[in-house]
Homo-oligomer: A and B are copies of this chain.
Amino acid sequence: MKITKLTNSISLKRQLEGGNEEQLKTVRQVLLDVKQYGDEAVRKYSKMWDGISLEDFRVSQQEIDEAVETFDEQLKKDLEEAAENIRYYHAAQSREGYKRPLADGSWLAQRITPLDAVGLYVPGGSAAYPSSVLMNVIPAQVAGVKRIVITSPAGRDGKLPAAVLVAASILGVTEIYKIGGAQAIAALAYGTETIAAVDKITGPGNIFVALAKREVFGEVAIDMIAGPSEIAVLADETAYADEVAADLLSQAEHDALACAVLITTSERLAIDVAVEVERQLSELPREAIARQSIENFGQIYIADSITQAVEAVNSLAPEHLEVVCQNAEEVAEQINHAGAIFIGRFSSEPVGDYFAGTNHVLPTNSTARFASGLNVDDFIKRTSIVYYSEKTWQENAPKIARLARMEGLEGHARAVESRGWTKGDK
């Protein structure tokens, strides 16, 4: 890893692939087709791209049961414990509306209601991602969403990975479809004969999935379009180089575009981590990906002071931040911008990816300046309610009419004034 002296302006930002014209054209055609032809179009594209022919693409209860029965007991327990932890953390985010009284019997209120239906896209390919199921479904359940749908591309055998079905089963989600790609996003957004439309689509996917989500945005809500993973480690001489290196690589192995940065006040640590990264890289199964990430986007910065390091982190606004230094908790309090913070050497970042309870869907590419990780609020909506009594109306109508006329909206003024003082109730 390159080691440089920390200067004032550093950035994690990368030029990210937004998809090319050809891909966008393809996605738009898929969306149109699924909107018009429903299931038939979904089947056509599943065959074309995933190479599978499925008459019925809903996962049967039997398939779920089989997955659960044959699944490794220990892993199932691990998933159950992770689910419990995630629920414990997110439960504190559940909230209620409120009512504020005004004079003369009038009141204002905010009502909070869950979305009716949400769809979670789980990427397929070579690996299974049960942790995505937990991280996306649990906040929706805490919010009170009644209908939760999972969709994921089937493998060549026409099946979904057992781990995904087991995770869904642990959470009680049974509406699962074996479709992927843009056609899955289209089905969730517009509905087909088999799949009723949802109100929000979450979950990561390849470039076609990301483009499709962007295109249907507005028709339905979507979560963020997540970028490649990022980790920043803020450390002093008390940190162990092998641990820091391992944590940097844990994010680098995600993606060749992932970004791993160490900011340290210790030159010794900087050099040791650089050596350790090289050593550990050569032993990593996903060495090729991690190496590309480290070579292109890996950086070690040497800071004059923790204060300077904190400033740098705040300008980075990283997705993940580890604080491994003396008084780590106090130092963490000075961080204004980060998706998630891990304090001390035992809070290795993957702890949060799988198990601790916090969400692993987090803002990337410096958007932690203004965005948050996935949370219960992403699955609720707010309705404001106004009740004006006759007396309140009478007292305030002239003021409201004046304000409306000041903005040139006479119709607004007349509407408020239209309530005749002497009409009485009908």
Contacts and interface: CB of A to CB of B under 8 A. Distances in A.
A292 interface: no
Identical subunits present? 2
Interface string A327-365: 001001001101111111111111111111111001101
A392 interface: yes
Nearest to A363: B381
Contacts of A100: 88-89, 92, 357
Contacts of A218: 365, 367
14 contacts: A89-B384, A127-B409, A131-B407, A247-B418, A254-B409, A341-B386, A344-B389, A346-B390, A349-B415, A350-B412, A352-B384, A354-B404, A369-B381, A370-B381
A400 B338 CA distance: 23
Contact of A92 (B110, B126, B367): B110
A284 B365 CA distance: 50
Nearest to A344: B387
A326 to B, nearest CB: 10
Interface string A205-221: 00000000000001011
Given A75-B402, A382-B372, A418-B242, A408 B127 contact: yes
Interface residues of A, number: 121
Given A163-B406, A382-B373, A411-B246, A348 B419 contact: yes
B346 A392 contact: yes
Nearest to A345: B419
A347 B388 contact: yes
Contact of A352 (B341, B386, B418): B386
Nearest to A245: B418
Nearest to A412: B350
A74 interface: yes
A399 B169 CA distance: 19
A28 to B, nearest CB: 14
Contact of A403 (B92, B115, B243, B354): B354
Interface string A408-424: 11111111101100010
A327 B406 CA distance: 35
A126 B408 contact: yes
A39 interface: no
Contact of A350 (B131, B346, B362, B416): B416
B348 A387 contact: no
Contacts of A108: 89, 356-358
Which of A346, A371, A426: most chain B CB closer than 10 A?
A346
Interface string A238-278: 11101100110110111000000000000000000000000
A383 B368 contact: yes
Contacts of A338: 383
Contacts of A88: 100
Contacts of A284: 410-411, 414
A355 B406 CA distance: 13
A130 to B, nearest CB: 7
B406 A247 contact: no
A314 to B, nearest CB: 9
| 9 closest Cβ pairs, A-B complex | A346-B393, A253-B411, A358-B384, A250-B415, A372-B382, A350-B412, A246-B418, A221-B370, A246-B415
Contact of A341 (B95, B349, B384, B413): B384
A235 to B, nearest CB: 11
Contact of A128 (B78, B368, B407): B407
Contact of A416 (B351, B358, B383): B351
Contact of A75 (B342, B370, B403, B416): B403
Given A338-B383, A351-B400, 11 more contacts: A200-B370, A221-B367, A238-B425, A249-B415, A250-B409, A285-B411, A335-B383, A348-B388, A348-B393, A358-B386, A377-B377
A279 to B, nearest CB: 12
Contacts of A396: 351, 355
